[in-house]
Amino acid sequence: MAVDLLLGLQWGDEGKGKIVDVLTGNYDIIARFQGGPNAGHTLIFDGHKHVLHTIPSGIFHKTALNVVGNGVVIDPVIFKKELENLDKHKVDYTSKLLISRKAHLILPTHRLLDAASETSKGKAKIGSTLKGIGPTYMDKTGRNGMRVGDLELENWKEKYHALTAKHLGMLDYFNIKIEYDLEELEAEFDKGIEKLRTLQFIDSEEFLNQAIKSNKTILAEGAQGSLLDIDFGTYPFVTSSNTTAAGACTGLGVAPNRIKDVYGIFKAYTTRVGSGPFPTELFDKDGEEMARIGQEFGATTGRPRRCGWLDLVALKYAVDVNGVTQLMMMKGDVLSGFDTLKICTSYNYKGKEISHFPYNIEPENVSVNYSKFKGWDEDLTKMTSAEQLPKNLLDYVAFIEKETGVPVKIVSVGPDRKQTIVR
């Protein structure tokens, strides 16, 4: 059996958590393959809102196994809080949450390094979530990181103290005063480790490949969005991992020929959290209205999201890089009430009109060209079938399908798992 992927095609916050939750009933295993607690996957059902950061979004389903893959970085402190929240809802995670031994651990000093690095940049800051993600991936590629499997070895404390000492020495480099109580931070970390060790650690690449051979159905869940990919995103305003389809192979240990369908999630408009270029960003009432109706605040940081019209140049780029086979459009309901909608169809890049995503999209190099579309007034949130969707919305979707060459199979019309229309 092959592995299906679910990825965000913009700058994150596309609604991946909801769709994973909707699709989980079709899969035996849900696997996270990259990122860490900088992810915020929001699920709403039965009148309750749940935010997951590291745990796969299939955890609320009774049958699916959930795997945290080797490409993920885990903060034991945040992970413990996630588990305690599941305890409140009486979710039996001990039997269905499996952790890769090769996943790297975020130490308290990783968070301190993240804060020091971002503070030192001043106005050039990249908009880090300050969760220690970047420094952890740096230790991973520097070949001195600490992994979950180390916790099963007798000398793991020695390794921890050696890495911590290295980090404390690095803090001096930034010449930035960071207030912290290491003893207090380590006490929290130890409690997190204790909780983490109650779960089953696995050799995830072996587990998943055996599952494939046993014809188990697997859905790989990405975090952040394609435009935040360390290689293909808007560098340096990116995350520290590969958020694109290729990252699923390295983040889970499955071969490229095991990948089947690639589900690409995008909003009917575009948002971005933190710093970085954003060609279609709106600074007018339309942008304010999108943010208000869409409740555009980061699930992890609470920061307000910047809003703009749909950027088709960027979307087509993400479709190509990921090999997307099905599109899923989120938050179509947010655009109800706009008289005129716009879609960016090309850029003006250094004096030339282009339709591909260029090396640099800073405002001094890029301006946008729009196509206009008639809006719709209908309230989509009560609609339950594709036949009920307004014609202008269907025209909007048809244009996206024509330009990307990929069918839009799902239109989301609200935050609840039930507010999902399959076409």
Point out the residues that are catalytic: 13, 41
End-to-end CA separation in angstroms for the chain: 25
Closest CA to 301 of 4, 17, 23, 39: 39
331: region left, alpha or beta (phi > 0 left; psi from -120 to 50 alpha): left
The answer to whether 67 and 58 are in contact (CB under 8 A) is no
Helix (H) or strand (E) holding 394: helix 391-404
C-alpha R_g of the chain: 21
- Would you state the torsion angle of the CA atoms of residues 346, 349, 352, 357, taken in this order, to the nearest 10 degrees? -50
Token digits of residue 367: 């301006």
CA distance 335 to 356: 26
Token digits of residue 183: 């003893």
SS3 202: strand
Closest CA to 12 of 49, 42, 50, 43: 42
DSSP state of 24: G
Token digits of residue 255: 């071969």
Closest CA to 230 of 243, 212, 245: 243
CA distance 113 to 130: 9
Q: What's phi and psi for 371, nearest 5 deg?
A: -105, 140
Contacts from 365-369 at CB under 8 Å and sequence distance 24+? 366/277, 366/279, 367/279, 368/279, 368/280, 368/311, 368/313, 368/344, 369/344, 369/345
CA distance 282 to 278: 9
Token digits of residue 46: 């039965």
